[in-house]
Amino acid sequence: MKVLDNLADIEEKIRIACEASGRDTKDVTIIAVTKYVTTERALEAVEAGVLNLGENRDDGLLEKWKILKDRPIWHFIGSLQTKKVKNIIDKVAYIHSLDRISLAQEIDKRASEPVNCFVQVNVSGEETKHGVKPDQVLKFIKELQKFEKIRVIGLMTMAPLTDDQTVIRKCFKELKKLQNDIQSLQLPASPCTELSMGMSNDYTIAIEEGATFIRIGTALVG
């Protein structure tokens, strides 16, 4: 399928989800997750009008960045090893996987400007998933205040892999609740206005629960 056709289908579903939840489609940004596909396919997404691209490995990002440079806006969405920060820091506009102080420290050290970060939260509690435990998130974000280059613009999570929509919805609702808790702290460097949640299988639920960035791979470019 052409990216353009997939995009038309996804945009229609976004429209319906926004309408169902009284939201504006302008408040939902699609990130095309290009980790499984070639640079050519990523370019097709950009040409279709998807200007935000997401990669989960530094080598995958660099390979595509060499060709596409700053034409797209780059998002780093995967778990990030501290030693890899220097490879990507001047290429990405957003990091979705901030989950430990040592990583914040390295970002703070390497960045020349404040970096838009999402704190990744392991809402589902699955052992295999990265992220801060929900009951540790407030403490973690308070600790981040000492880093000048860390700007917590939001929270990110991955829902459990299940067909049970109730379980998925509950996960997204919990992230939204955590966002409210953080916003009420009114920390200047952590506005936490965004929610990065929703993938190919669950983005409509995520939108209904308040997602502002959805990360779509398979359904868009796969």
Binding site for ligand PLP (CB under 6 A): 33, 35, 56, 77-78, 158, 199-201, 215-219
Closer residue to ligand PLP (CB): 35 or 169 = 35
Classified as helix, coil or strand, 163 is coil
Kindly report the backbone phi and psi dihedral angles of residue 52, in degrees, each rounded to the nearest multiple of 5, phi listed first: -105, 120
- Position closest to ligand PLP via CB: 217
Amino acid at the residue 144: L
Minimum CB separation of residue 144 from ligand PLP in Å reads 20
Amino acid at the residue 59: D
Minimum CB separation of residue 181 from ligand PLP in Å reads 23
Minimum CB separation of residue 142 from ligand PLP in Å reads 25
Minimum CB separation of residue 37 from ligand PLP in Å reads 10
Closer residue to ligand PLP (CB): 33 or 153 = 33
Closer residue to ligand PLP (CB): 37 or 144 = 37
Q: DSSP per residue over 26-65, as a string?
A: GG-EEEEE-TTS-HHHHHHHHHTT--EEEESSHHHHHHHH
Strand partners, 121: 132
**209/13 Cα distance (integer angstroms):** 14
Closer residue to ligand PLP (CB): 141 or 220 = 220
